[in-house]
Amino acid sequence: MNAPTTSLQTEGRPGLDALFAPRSVAIIGASSDQRRFGGRPIQYLLEAGFDGPIYPVNPARAEIQGLKAYPSILEVPGPVDCALLAVGADVTQQTVEDCIARGVKAAICYGAGFAEVGGEGEARQAKLLETARAGGLRLLGPNCMGALNAQTKFYGTFASALEDGVPPAGRIAIASQSGGYGGYLLRHLFLRGLGVSQWVTTGNEADIDVGEALHWMAGQEDNDVLIAYIEGLRSRDSLIAALKRARENRKPVVVMKVGRTAEGSAAAASHTASLTGQDNVYDALFEEYGVHRARTTDELLDISYALSRRTLPKGPRVGVISISGGVGVQIADFVSDAGLTMGSVPLETQDKLRALVPHCSPRNPIDMTGLVTTNHDIMEKTLDAVFEANAFDATLIFLGITGAAPSMARPLQQAIANAHARAPDQLVFVSVTCPPEMMREYDAKGLLAFEDPSRAVNALSALWQFRETFSADMPAPVALPPAEALPLPEDGKLNEATAKALLAAHGIPSPRENLARDAAEAARMAVDIGFPVAVKVVSPDILHKTEVGGVALGLASAEAVEAAVARMAETIPAHLPDARIDGYLVSEMVKGGVECILGISQDEAFGPVVTFGLGGTLVELLKDTVCALAPVSEARALEMIGKVRTAPLLTGYRGGPRHDIEALARAISGISVLAAQHAGTITTIEVNPLVVRPGAGGVVALDAVIETRPVE
């Protein structure tokens, strides 16, 4: 892992070292009862052997859990890096003020009754934050379950997941907005024999949010994997900084983002005070940074477990060795579903396998028949032959229920371990039905044990995705040149000409066109532009031009243009006597090409988002669009184009022409830069249709709308 290079802007506030690696801890509201939240952290700190002073604070006690207690934080003798506030919401403000007076650097506020209850609670939290900021105190919570750092033996949490004993340190770091889910995850990792390096729950996030915590974790040396649980974000910056740092340091990030669906979002809004961004925007962000988004806890745990072997596959080729042909077929299905491939067994290796078991199926999935379950020497030799061939990037051995009976299973396990010991670089998964303690024996031998083979394959697929992410170059940051001043209309809407001019300056040309006042001028302009031309009425009062006869296409002569405008000038006022007519737009006819839609919208958490899709009713119906946070580079825009299902229509489908996707990528990037430059001003851009021409013909915006925030 490299040294961290991305730093997070925290506006001069102190970092999180005092929170995650305090040298001394005070527990305010300390309790002798180990089941209370003022008692549990003391128990955990003592049990883990925290290597600094622990100061229980409780005015009613002289001694708590064998430690000298103090009546107030102000009377604690030594310096205090971190204070755990196990006090009610009513006294939290005073307690924080005392902490600041005492020089405490970080405080963990467990208590509820703040922003999550609304009204008064919100005000209480705002005041608390103001005080903490002014006093240079970093605040975790309120309404959280605290934090731990196994490296420094700091257990600043009352999570019941540690009740059975503080487990050994591991190399997984977890940042969770939810305390309940954070504890749930902790427990499940322990059940799988996995430990954590750091763990934090951010609760209401008055000060420290999940992104900042994750950013701190991404800079540590003692973890390999970052897990985040997110319900909603208030700001994008800390999360993006964290993902960048993790990507730079080659740390895989697995995220559970809930509130994916309308049902879930409604629940999320009632649960926290934070905003849930549009779900597809999260997907776009995660994809950009190579984050794996887990849909279920099982999936999240499976991937974390697979990552604990610290080996990523070099390619997507899977080898399957099964004792049942039927299951082999099934696993081949899983492999294909997961975007991996079934590797080919070299002919020479097939011969070796046939020499071992004449009636075997030596091609992938390899079926050595039930013989290997009783003849472990054959299993070992099979694996030797397969590993030697080096034809697979990962091997999945299906043992099934053979692994259940210790008499059969242990020697079989040993045979696999022996072969693996001779080829330790091989990434080996075993799908086996056996008790948890036997599963852990596979771990100890450097193998990965799963029960259902589909879960092994899915975890492997995630590993391969991480490998691909880490093999690719870091996405280059998109430079934002200084923005030009925008012509800001009072009604917040730029007229079509202004909008098109702005887009043209950002790489999205319009057709050659001009605004004529009357029929004669239109005819002259048409001659300049060249025939054929299109003529459109321009009026702020006419929404559907076609319906009032306000559009004429393919006009081939000056006479035709003059006649068309004259007819519009006569018939439109007859239909709509009150419509103001600003003139007639005479445009070059754009023929051929693929119609697309390109736009900018605002996400409440992430700001400007650029969305692209092919045009037309059908694509709209099928919602075949792709989005990304603005700004995007041209390279990223090219990737976006490749992701719409209808992309083959642009790249040449069934002998159709290849269109100018490079120009399209420039347009996507250009509009995203424009939106990012004017993030405070421009709210919406819609270019529809944007025509992408064949060959190197470029793109043309046939219509464009730009809306801005009203001038204040």
d(CA 354, CA 378): 11
d(CA 214, CA 223): 12
Q: Which is nearer to a copy of itself, 434 or 690 (CB)?
A: 434
Identify residues 624-653 at the interface with a copy of itself (CB under 8 A).
624, 645-646, 648-649, 653
Strand, helix or coil for residue 176: strand
Tell me if 137 contacts a copy of itself by CB under 8 A: no
Tell me if 342 contacts a copy of itself by CB under 8 A: yes
Least distance between a copy of itself and beta carbon 399 (Å): 10
Tell me if 347 contacts a copy of itself by CB under 8 A: no
d(CA 92, CA 110): 10
CB 513 within 8 A of CB 536: no
Query: In which order are the strands placed within the sheet that holds 513-516?
Result: 513-516, 583-588, 533-538, 551-555
Tell me if 123 contacts a copy of itself by CB under 8 A: no
Identify residues 210-229 at the interface with a copy of itself (CB under 8 A).
229
DSSP 29: T
- Applying CB under 8 A, the span of 41-49, 96-104, 563-571, 620-628 interacting with a copy of itself comes to 620-628
Q: Which is nearer to a copy of itself, 322 or 469 (CB)?
A: 322
Q: Which is nearer to a copy of itself, 624 or 703 (CB)?
A: 624
d(CA 116, CA 232): 13
Q: Among 334, 387, 429, 464, which residue interacts with a copy of itself (rule: CB under 8 A)?
A: 334
Tell me if 371 contacts a copy of itself by CB under 8 A: no
Tell me if 689 contacts a copy of itself by CB under 8 A: no
Q: Among 89, 332, 449, 637, which residue interacts with a copy of itself (rule: CB under 8 A)?
A: 332
Q: Which is nearer to a copy of itself, 322 or 708 (CB)?
A: 322
CA 311, 315, 318, 319 torsion-angle sign = negative
Tell me if 543 contacts a copy of itself by CB under 8 A: no
- Applying CB under 8 A, the span of 56-64, 74-82, 437-445, 618-626 interacting with a copy of itself comes to 618-626
Identify residues 11-40 at the interface with a copy of itself (CB under 8 A).
none
d(CA 102, CA 73): 7
Q: Among 136, 180, 424, 540, which residue interacts with a copy of itself (rule: CB under 8 A)?
A: 180
- Applying CB under 8 A, the span of 26-34, 244-252, 263-271, 487-495 interacting with a copy of itself comes to 263-271
Tell me if 234 contacts a copy of itself by CB under 8 A: no
- Applying CB under 8 A, the span of 66-74, 78-86, 187-195, 528-536 interacting with a copy of itself comes to 187-195
d(CA 18, CA 462): 34
CA distances from 62 to 58, 189, 287, 444, 587 (A): 8, 38, 55, 47, 88
Identify residues 650-679 at the interface with a copy of itself (CB under 8 A).
653-654, 656
Q: Which is nearer to a copy of itself, 103 or 339 (CB)?
A: 339
Dihedral pair phi/psi, residue 663, rounded to 5° = -65, -35
Identify residues 291-310 at the interface with a copy of itself (CB under 8 A).
295-298
Tell me if 258 contacts a copy of itself by CB under 8 A: yes
N-to-C CA span, the chain: 49
Q: Among 365, 507, 615, 689, which residue interacts with a copy of itself (rule: CB under 8 A)?
A: 365
Q: Single out the residue of 608, 626, 613 nearest to residue 673, CA to CA.
A: 608
Neighbours of 466 (CB within 10 A): 24
Identify residues 446-505 at the interface with a copy of itself (CB under 8 A).
452, 454-455
d(CA 303, CA 225): 10
Contacts of residue 51, Cβ cutoff 8 Å, sequence gap at least 6: 152, 153
